[in-house]
Structure 1
Amino acid sequence: MKTMIVLGGVAALALSGAAIAQTNDGQRGGRMDPDARLSQAEFVEQRVARLTAMDANGDGVVSREEMQAHRQARMGEMRGRMFERMDTNSDGTVTRSEYDAAHEQRREGMTERRAERGEASERRGGRGHRGGQRAGMRLDRDGQGVNIEQARQRAVEQFAAMDANGDGYVTGAEMRAHREARRADHQARRADRRQPAE
């Protein structure tokens, strides 16, 4: 048989994070370029846009079910894009050689990204931890959903904490400095909890 449909392999690659990270204005793989600037409105909108897209019934609250449905739809889109990338001759099937080539390309990309993260980690003086900032993406304590207006307010507060010079914009450098300060504070609090009481 000349062609072999490898749908299971497509799903496995998609599920394992083979999708290429989408970039926003001034951002690379979720991190902002040091010289790029975001206004408060841009920053807040980026933080709540995903929640707004998930709010299928428009009630201002993203329920657990809406979150799951949105996640499943995105996974379906990712699988479709992955299949299209692997099906290099566009014949509707993925041959073993096409699958192997895509798998090798993914492996090389991962190796390059690990090397880049390793270099970035050395510059920061620590391991390559990604302190992702997803304002409001956690379900409320009662597990009923995420209130978009509350998430918007948290994003406004987060912006104010990052805008070190108070000019109404945050830069990639300010974001990084804020992230590192929070990490140091977290580590200090964790160290305090570990010390035995006298």
Structure 2
Amino acid sequence: MTPMTRILLPAVALLLGTGTALAFPHGGNRADTDGDGAVSKEEMRQMRVQMFDRMDADGDGYVTDEEMDTHRKKMEGRHEKMRQRMQEKRDAWVDKLDADNDGRISRDEMADAPFPFFDKADTDGDGKLTRDEMKAMRDKRRGMDKP
């Protein structure tokens, strides 16, 4: 076993064994392929197969040190892009909330900021969100409101 394999195999094993992270990446439920709201062992197995297939660049049925390293680098690039997007969102959020432009957000600025999500979700305009209104907004944001 090469030194790279000794390092990467435990990492891959940990990743493959971490069901929640695979099943619910970024809070979603990509592994729940039958849409029943739960992830079965078979659905988790399919996630593992898909991950393996992404790593097995040459399609020979085996993942080499080089393929794992390439996959890791690709994932690091995605994580860096995600980190940058999150930083941009944070900066935009601070800009929106920092009413006096002092570079800080006060308790009053946070409390008094507009509620665009709430206002969009409150479809009957009564100033309250029902479970149905919250579910409809969640579904809309996830693109599940389409027929």
**What TM-score results when the alignment is normalised by the length of structure 2?**
0.47
Q: Which of the two has greater strand per residue?
A: 1
Q: Which of the two has greater helix per residue?
A: 2
**What TM-score results when the alignment is normalised by the length of structure 1?**
0.36
Larger RCO (alpha carbons 8 Å, 6+ apart): 1
